[in-house]
Amino acid sequence: MNVDSIQNGIVIDHIAAGNAMKLYRLLGLDGLDVPVAMITNVVSGKLGRKDIIKIDADIPVDINVIGYVDPGATVNIIRNGELAEKKRIDLPETLVNVLKCKNPRCISTCEQELDQVFRLSDRVRREYRCVWCEAKAEL
């Protein structure tokens, strides 16, 4: 399967197989008016299988979202058809307005313009908790 290489844009590589759709949704790529390619289940020497997302435009992406979904992913910035920058991803300490608290008793469900903020509570388990009510984050 061939997907054209991009001239200016972003390639999110080494996404664990199955995570690309989550990233696509959380990064809001479905709302973009630019070409986006999502390639899933590609054979990978490092991961066995991996997903790749190619965005054919130099737009800002929230690195924290990528880190939350898959801290093993890499972000390659492409300019003029060349690799201009490679970004390493880590679990972010805080996620702002990425997830919604699912606790129906949380103040964030009703308070006007209150940010949805989650903080990393357990790095090993990759667990985030709402800063307002401390409920565990769920995708």
135 near another protein, rule: CB under 8 A: yes
**Structure tokens of 119?**
């903080």
Measured distance CA(73)–CA(90) in Å, rounded: 9
95 near another protein, rule: CB under 8 A: no
Burial label for 63, CB within 10 Å (0-12, 13-18, 19+), is middle
Q: Considering the complex, state which of residue 76 and residue 116 has its C-beta at the smaller distance from another protein.
A: 116
119 near another protein, rule: CB under 8 A: no
Pick one of 134, 137, 138, 139: the residue that binds another protein (CB under 8 A): 134
Contact positions vs another protein (CB under 8 A): 103, 105-112, 114, 121-122, 129-136
